[in-house]
């Protein structure tokens, strides 16, 4: 086997037994790696009846075939399993440094089940794997624990850690690598917390990989690294981070304001944009392993109420979630909230969306002071958010903390009235900070079709509608107008297949945009040696999408769950998209037809499954 | 060329447009914030078919042809695509992806101006009308 090692570490935290499992080589070619391979593994060996936070729940970290390459964008990996936030299949990816180190240590993944009798740390040093006492770290923030782990196990080790939010089973708790890179979405920090696993430390003696065709790969690597580094988008991202074009997005109506009640607030273009973050607070830029783009921000706020020392800075999603979405233009407050969420281990999207929803609920009177322990939740009041609400959520303290720590859907179901209608989510996952009404109607479709719920990185539809995708080799030559439904289902099919490949290959979506289809195929053929043509690759993408549909069906999801909330589909009240209807039902019906999916069950037809090589799986659901 | 009789027509229209942009306080100040020497290079449609705008250090100067100093940002495209672009009928991201527009240098400043392109398109349309080229206006 090349690039992939074929080996995953299985850890039973109940007993402390560690074993090494070898995966069939065919699984790699059929499911690529990352979230696709994790889905296949879970389908075969996971317990679909297990509650996400029970000891029986399975949590899977999985690398892609490119993890460890000295190639921009290649150093991500996935964590996957049943989400405690949504209750169904989910995966979440992370950049940083963990994936390469795990590969160098000799493994493609880690599979965790059980619950450790006491707080613990999983320590991987090549073939020496042990579960060690983690009591000293329990209750501490991620920044401190990361430092302590590196002091103890050496500066060359790599870590993933949860914070107090994960320990307290906050449903949108995240997992952090080196305190800066995040497995942000769907709450897998709580799953680690439920297993009493505070951290995983990995240390490899050598940094070597075997490749299918090292010479051809090296030639390709040089070309791709140069192309990715020199690309216009890379330069913009390097200079001003993922919020570089927040200003442009604000004018098109892509940036949500006050819980998606507005699509235009001109002041955000100056107050919250990437260039403003650069000018005011940036101290240096950061990068994932081997990446030349270096889009990560390192910031320091030196004065005012939100001072923070130099450390990880906010991404676009956080800036909007803790800025305009809450009715605030205070970028320093965003930096502070980001630092707290990172340290406590909480997803900034789900936490921000849940708080913004609570602000609207409070304004409407659906959420009362009896629900909030007497705290007033007002638009733009970041002092209350930072000093009171966030600590309460982390500790699940009082009525408010207990309510919001469950996420917006659970909170809305609890308080009732019509508050579920103004949640902004699909399948229970809070929507990211791109409003499909202004960002592009196709995104409404792909948010709803994403297996894990509303997601802008499950596939590249955001970039597709922006115009930055052009793949004539696979018939993708659409010239799309964002605010229409024209050709959107057709584009979504290809976008979703590509997204499944990207997320299973664990490749960064920023770097991905510079990689052509023939280059993708060549990467797969020279690195793991899958011996593919473009059609084989796209088939793998569709196979992965189909398998995830089947998994969610086993969790009880059907076509009815492929929806967005009324708030996200009502015509925008202002800005560029004002008054424009989204033809969501029409797009969905066409997409189902193109993907040969059953309009009630929401799963592919038996024939479609058979054609994709999923006949055994089909037998399970048809 | 689809829209121009000769490269000079394109240069005349784009230069005049930037002169009119200067008269709009918001756009002028927006351009000054970009603080760059920007070259719009349309020479693939004919020699000398280029316009530059120098917004460095609070200045606002316009010229034609290739500037003597190295531009901070060069956008290279055909004269016809320039017409589509200033008419706000060309998705710049799509055009860059499909190599219709080639960008050299830092585009960060230009991102600040991107949201104003609709307003620039209105000025461009008026310029075409004033020049007696209303037939070139894209509907």
Interface contact A468-B106, CB threshold 8 A? no
Rounded Cα distance between A82 and A349, Å, is 19
Rounded Cα distance between A136 and A564, Å, is 43
Q: Does domain A430-621 have CATH number 3.30.70.20?
A: no
Q: Who has greater pLDDT, B93 or A76?
A: A76
Q: Is residue B102 part of a domain?
A: yes
Structure confidence at residue B112 (pLDDT): 76
Structure confidence at residue A574 (pLDDT): 97
Q: Is residue B135 part of a domain?
A: no
Give yes or no for a contact between A159 and A177, defined as CB atoms under 8 angstroms apart: yes
Nearest alpha-carbon partner for A138 in A114, A104, A162: A162
Residue B5 in contact with partner chain A when CB distance is under 8 A: no
Residue A242 in contact with partner chain B when CB distance is under 8 A: no
Q: Residue A150: exposed, middle, or buried by beta-carbon count in 10 A (0-12, 13-18, 19+)?
A: middle
Interface contact B96-A239, CB threshold 8 A? no
ipTM over 0.90: no
Among all residues of chain B, which has the CA nearest to that of A241?
B108
**Which of B97, B103, B114 is closest, CB to CB, to A248?**
B114
Structure confidence at residue A372 (pLDDT): 97
Q: Is residue B120 part of a domain?
A: yes
**Which of A244, A250, A470 is closest, CB to CB, to B108?**
A244
Q: Quickly state the pLDDT bin for A172 (edges 50, 70, 90).
A: very high
Q: Quickly state the pLDDT bin for A605 (edges 50, 70, 90).
A: very high
- Domain of B90, in residue numbers: 7-127
Close Cβ partners of A238 (under 8 Å, ≥ 6 residues apart) = A285, A293, A294, A295
SS3 A476: strand
Structure confidence at residue B117 (pLDDT): 85
Q: Is residue B1 part of a domain?
A: no
Interface contact B112-A236, CB threshold 8 A? no
Kindly tell me the sign of the dihedral angle through the C-alpha atoms of A29, A30, A35, A37. negative
Annotate A269-303 with b (16+ C-beta within 10 A) or e (fewer). Answer: bbbbbbbbbbeebbeebbbbbbbbbbbbbebbbee
Q: Quickly state the pLDDT bin for A518 (edges 50, 70, 90).
A: very high
What are the residues facing A255 on neighbouring strands? none
Interface contact B97-A245, CB threshold 8 A? no
Q: How many CB atoms within 10 Å of residue A49?
A: 10
Structure confidence at residue A402 (pLDDT): 98
Q: What is the mean pLDDT of each run of 10 residues along chain B (139 residues)?
A: 96 97 92 91 96 94 96 95 95 90 84 83 97 95
Rounded Cα distance between A379 and B108, Å, is 31
Give yes or no for a contact between A622 and A606, defined as CB atoms under 8 angstroms apart: yes
Rg (CA), chain A: 22
Query: Residue for token digits 């493994």?
Result: A107
Residue A379 in contact with partner chain B when CB distance is under 8 A: no
Interface contact A244-B94, CB threshold 8 A? no
E strand or H helix at B51, and its extent? strand B50-54
Interface contact A247-B91, CB threshold 8 A? no
For position B15, which CATH number holds? 3.30.1050.10
Q: Is residue B60 part of a domain?
A: yes
Rounded Cα distance between A500 and A457, Å, is 10
A237: closest CA of chain B, how far (Å): 9
A243-417 has which CATH code? 1.10.569.10
Q: Is residue B139 part of a domain?
A: no
Structure confidence at residue B92 (pLDDT): 87
Nearest alpha-carbon partner for B116 in B7, B16, B15, B18: B18
Among all residues of chain A, which has the CA nearest to that of B103?
A232
A7-203 has which CATH code? 3.60.9.10
Q: Residue B5: exposed, middle, or buried by beta-carbon count in 10 A (0-12, 13-18, 19+)?
A: exposed
What tokens appear for B44 in the block? 């693939």
Residue A266 in contact with partner chain B when CB distance is under 8 A: no
Residue B137 in contact with partner chain A when CB distance is under 8 A: no
**Which of A239, A250, A470 is closest, CB to CB, to B108?**
A239
Rounded Cα distance between B56 and B72, Å, is 10
Q: Is residue B81 part of a domain?
A: yes
Please report, for residues A72, A502, B78, B99, the alpha-carbon distance to residue A228 in angstroms, rounded to integers and kept in the order given.
7, 16, 25, 15
On average, the pLDDT of chain A sits at: 97
Q: Is residue B90 part of a domain?
A: yes
Task: Check residue A588 and report its DSSP letter.
Answer: H
Rounded Cα distance between A381 and A401, Å, is 17
> Which positions in chain A touch B92 (Cβ < 8 Å)?
467
A165: closest CA of chain B, how far (Å): 37
Structure confidence at residue A379 (pLDDT): 98
Rg (CA), chain B: 14
Our CA dihedral for B34, B39, B42, B48, rounded to 10 degrees, sits at: 150
> Which positions in chain A touch B98 (Cβ < 8 Å)?
470
SS3 A450: coil
Give yes or no for a contact between A142 and A162, defined as CB atoms under 8 angstroms apart: yes
Among all residues of chain B, which has the CA nearest to that of A249?
B115
Rounded Cα distance between B122 and A260, Å, is 30
* pLDDT tens readout for residues A341-365: 999 999 999 999 999 999 999 999 9
E strand or H helix at A12, and its extent? strand A7-12
Q: Quickly state the pLDDT bin for A536 (edges 50, 70, 90).
A: very high
Residues 106-125 of B with CB under 8 A from A: 106-108, 111-112, 114-115
SS3 A220: helix
pLDDT of A102 over the 90 cut: yes
Residues 39-68 of A with CB under 8 A from B: none
Chain-centre distance of CA A390, in angstroms?
21
Structure confidence at residue B31 (pLDDT): 87
Which of the residue ranges A134-143, A467-476, A608-617 would you say has the lowest mean pLDDT?
Answer: A467-476
pLDDT of A131 over the 90 cut: yes
Rounded Cα distance between A457 and A443, Å, is 11
Among all residues of chain B, which has the CA nearest to that of A516?
B97
Residue A235 in contact with partner chain B when CB distance is under 8 A: yes
Please report, for residues A26, A73, A107, A318, the alpha-carbon distance to residue A214 in angstroms, rounded to integers and kept in the order given.
22, 19, 20, 39
- Tell me the mean pLDDT in the region A446-472: 95
* pLDDT tens readout for residues A286-341: 999 999 999 999 999 999 999 999 999 999 999 999 999 999 999 999 999 999 99
Rounded Cα distance between A496 and A515, Å, is 17
Question: What is the count of structural domains for chain B?
Answer: 1
Strands B37-41 vs B73-76: parallel, antiparallel or unpaired: parallel
What tokens appear for A253 in the block? 């109506």
Give yes or no for a contact between A94 and A175, defined as CB atoms under 8 angstroms apart: yes
Nearest alpha-carbon partner for A527 in A23, A71, A30, A105: A71
A61: closest CA of chain B, how far (Å): 34
Domain residue spans in chain A? 7-203, 243-417, 430-621
* pLDDT tens readout for residues A554-599: 999 999 999 999 999 999 999 999 999 999 999 999 999 999 999 9
What tokens appear for A276 in the block? 């403003």
Strands A282-286 vs A296-301: parallel, antiparallel or unpaired: antiparallel
């Amino acid at each position: 086997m090349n690039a992939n090692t074929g080996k995953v570490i299985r850890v039973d935290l109940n007993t402390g037994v560690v074993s090494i499992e070898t995966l069939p080589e065919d699984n790699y070619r059929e499911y690529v790696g990352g979230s696709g391979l994790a889905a296949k593994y879970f389908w075969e060996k996971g317990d679909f009846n297990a509650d996400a936070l029970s000891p029986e729940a399975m949590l899977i970290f999985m690398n892609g075939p490119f993890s460890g390459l000295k190639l921009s964008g290649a150093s991500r990996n996935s964590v996957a399993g049943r989400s405690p936030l949504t209750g169904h299949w989910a995966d979440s990816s992370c950049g940083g440094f963990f994936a390469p180190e795990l590969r160098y240590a000799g493994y493609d993944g880690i599979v965790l089940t059980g619950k450790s009798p006491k707080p613990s740390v999983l320590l991987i040093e090549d073939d020496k794997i042990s579960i060690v006492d983690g009591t000293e770290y329990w209750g501490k923030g991620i920044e401190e624990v990361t430092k302590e782990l590196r002091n103890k196990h050496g500066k060359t080790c790599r870590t993933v850690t949860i914070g107090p939010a994960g320990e307290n089973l906050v449903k949108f708790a995240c997992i952090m690598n080196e305190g800066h890179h995040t497995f942000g979405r769907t709450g897998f920090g709580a799953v680690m917390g439920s297993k009493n696993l505070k951290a995983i430390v990995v240390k490899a003696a050598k940094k070597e990989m075997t490749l299918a065709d090292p010479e051809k790969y090296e030639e390709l690597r040089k070309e791709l690294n140069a192309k990715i580094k020199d690309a216009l988008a890379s330069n913009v991202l390097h200079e001003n981070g993922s919020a570089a074009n927040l200003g442009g997005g604000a004018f098109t109506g892509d940036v949500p304001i006050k819980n998606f009640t507005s699509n235009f607030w001109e002041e955000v273009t100056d107050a919250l944009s990437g260039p403003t973050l650069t000018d005011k607070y940036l101290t240096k830029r950061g990068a994932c392993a081997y990446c030349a783009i270096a889009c990560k921000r390192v910031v320091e706020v030196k004065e005012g109420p939100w001072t923070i020392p130099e450390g990880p800075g906010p991404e676009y999603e956080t800036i909007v979630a803790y800025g305009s979405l809450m009715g605030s233009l205070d970028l320093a407050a965003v930096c502070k909230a980001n630092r707290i969420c990172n340290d406590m281990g909480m997803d900034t999207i789900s936490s921000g969306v849940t708080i913004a929803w609570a602000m609207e609920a409070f304004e409407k009177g659906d959420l009362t002071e009896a629900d909030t322990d007497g705290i007033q939740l007002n638009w733009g009041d970041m002092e209350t958010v930072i000093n009171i609400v966030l600590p309460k959520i982390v500790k699940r303290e009082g009525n408010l903390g207990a309510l919001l720590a469950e996420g917006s859907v659970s909170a809305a179901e609890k308080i009732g009235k019509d508050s579920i209608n103004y949640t902004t989510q699909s399948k229970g996952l809070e929507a990211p900070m791109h409003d499909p009404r202004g960002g592009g109607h196709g995104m409404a479709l792909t948010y709803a079709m994403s297996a894990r719920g509303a997601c802008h990185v499950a596939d590249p539809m955001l970039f597709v509608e922006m115009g930055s995708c052009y793949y004539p080799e696979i018939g993708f030559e659409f010239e799309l107008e964002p605010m229409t439904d024209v050709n959107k289902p057709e584009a979504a099919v290809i976008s979703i297949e590509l997204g499944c490949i990207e997320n299973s290959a664990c490749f960064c979506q920023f770097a991905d945009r510079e990689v052509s289809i023939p280059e993708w195929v060549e990467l797969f053929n020279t690195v793991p040696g899958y011996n593919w043509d473009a059609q084989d690759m796209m088939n793998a993408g569709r196979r992965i999408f189909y398998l995830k549909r089947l998994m969610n069906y086993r969790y009880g999801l059907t076509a009815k769950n492929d929806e967005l909330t009324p708030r996200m589909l009502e015509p925008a009240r202002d800005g560029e998209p004002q008054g424009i209807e989204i033809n969501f039902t029409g797009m969905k019906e066409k997409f189902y037809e193109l993907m040969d999916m059953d309009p009630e069950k929401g799963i592919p037809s038996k024939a479609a499954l058979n054609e994709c090589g999923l006949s055994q799986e089909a037998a399970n659901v048809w | 060329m689809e829209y121009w009789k000769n490269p000079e027509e394109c240069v005349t229209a784009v230069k005049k447009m930037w002169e009119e942009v200067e008269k709009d306080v918001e756009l002028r100040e927006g351009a000054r914030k970009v603080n760059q020497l920007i070259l719009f290079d349309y020479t693939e449609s004919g020699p000398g078919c280029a316009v530059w705008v120098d917004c460095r250090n609070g200045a606002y100067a316009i010229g034609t042809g290739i500037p003597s100093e190295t531009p901070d940002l060069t956008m290279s495209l055909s004269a016809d695509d320039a017409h589509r672009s200033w008419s706000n009928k060309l998705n710049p991201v799509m055009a860059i992806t499909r190599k219709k527009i080639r960008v050299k240098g830092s585009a960060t400043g230009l991102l600040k101006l991107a949201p104003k392109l609709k307003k620039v398109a209105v000025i461009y349309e008026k310029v075409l009308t004033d020049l007696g080229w209303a037939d070139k206006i894209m509907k």
